[in-house]
């Protein structure tokens, strides 16, 4: 994560990876077939971690709109709390929201529920996903380039809820809730790597 966040996913690496990991070339190849392999693995591991936590927090809620709102808020707040995560997400670019990603696992169910319960308009599923993924990713990416107003996360969520069909009042009611920060498990990948993270100046050069 440290390397991908800093260099971008496509800027060559392996040497950086192994030196950052304190591991030999040979060892790297014992565990990963290629660089992208590692990136995919890291992405999946990270996704699994976050998804589990989000689902824990969300599973008790009846209202799909509330589940969706809270989930997206948690995602955004985690990105703000862990710049490494925001940076990694930006580097992974649209791949981070690709087929095997957290958001795409998490969202469709809640959206579908919302439509069935009449809380959301009957938008085509893909369109909803594009809007949410795109909006969230851009907001997070921006947060890793310049500092963003942390309150704006609520605006993002409210706007997304409105686009799905909620009234402004309703949208704000859900978006405005206080949200306790995620509690990462002791050995969490994100927690461990964030400990070593020292953000570098952003050249913007290799950004996606």
Q: Where does this chain bind DNA (CB under 7 A)? A: 11-15, 23-27, 29-31, 33-35
25 binds, among a copy of itself, DNA, none (CB under 5 to 8 A by kind): DNA
12 or 187: CB nearest DNA: 12
Nearer to a copy of itself, 62 or 205 (CB): 205
Tokens (6 digits) for 90: 């930006």
Residue of 157, 172, 168 whose CA lies nearest to 73:
157
Burial 44-71 (b: 16+ CB within 10 A, else e): eebbebbbebbeebbeeeeebbbbbbbb
Q: How many residues does the chain have?
A: 208
Residue 15 binds which entry of DNA, a copy of itself, none, with Cβ cut-offs from 5 to 8 Å by kind?
DNA
Q: Using an 8 Å Cβ cutoff, are 77 and 158 in contact?
A: no
Q: Segment contacting a copy of itself (CB under 8 A): 54-62, 124-132, 184-192, 193-201?
A: 124-132
Taking CA 113 as the corner, what is the angle to CA 52 and CA 176, rounded to the nearest 5 degrees? 70
Residue from 51, 63, 155, 189 in contact with a copy of itself (CB under 8 A): 155
Phi-psi region of 33 (alpha: psi -120 to 50; beta: other; left: phi over 0): alpha
User: Among a copy of itself, DNA, none, what does residue 60 contact (CB within 5–8 Å per kind)?
Assistant: none
Contact 191, 184 (CB under 8 A): yes
Asked whether the beta carbons of 164 and 122 are under 8 A apart, the reply is no
Instruction: For residues 27 and 30, give the distance between their C-alpha atoms in angstroms, rounded to a whole number.
Output: 5
Closest CA to 157 of 142, 179, 183: 179
Closest CB to a copy of itself among residues 83, 98: 98
Q: Of 36-95, which residues contact a copy of itself (CB under 8 A)?
A: 36, 90, 93-95
Nearest distance, CB of residue 183 and a copy of itself, angstroms:
27
Site for a copy of itself in 5-34 (CB under 8 A): 8, 10-11
In the complex with a copy of itself, the residue whose CB is nearer, 76 or 184, is: 76
Applying CB under 8 A, which residues contact a copy of itself?
8, 10-11, 36, 90, 93-95, 97-98, 121, 123-124, 126-131, 133-139, 141-142, 148-149, 152, 155-156, 159-160, 162-165, 168, 205-208
């Amino acid at each position: 994560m440290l390397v991908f966040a800093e260099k971008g996913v496509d800027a060559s690496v392996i040497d950086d990876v192994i030196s950052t990991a304190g591991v030999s070339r040979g060892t790297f190849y014992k565990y990963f077939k290629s660089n992208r392999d590692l990136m995919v693995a890291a992405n999946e591991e990270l996704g699994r971690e976050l998804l589990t936590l989000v689902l824990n927090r969300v599973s008790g809620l009846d209202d799909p709109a509330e589940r969706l709102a809270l989930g997206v808020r948690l995602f955004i707040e985690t990105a703000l709390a862990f710049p490494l995560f925001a940076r990694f997400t930006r580097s992974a670019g649209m791949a981070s929201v690709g087929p095997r990603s957290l958001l795409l696992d998490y969202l469709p169910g809640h959206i579908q529920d919302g439509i069935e319960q009449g809380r959301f308009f009957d938008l085509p599923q893909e369109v909803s996903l594009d809007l949410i993924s795109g909006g969230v990713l851009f907001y997070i990416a921006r947060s890793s380039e310049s500092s963003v107003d942390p309150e704006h996360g609520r605006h993002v969520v409210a706007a997304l809820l409105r686009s799905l069909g909620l009234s402004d009042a309703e949208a704000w009611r859900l978006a405005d809730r206080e949200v306790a920060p995620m509690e990462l498990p002791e050995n969490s990948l994100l927690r461990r790597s964030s400990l070593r993270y020292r953000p570098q100046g952003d050249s913007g050069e290799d950004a996606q």
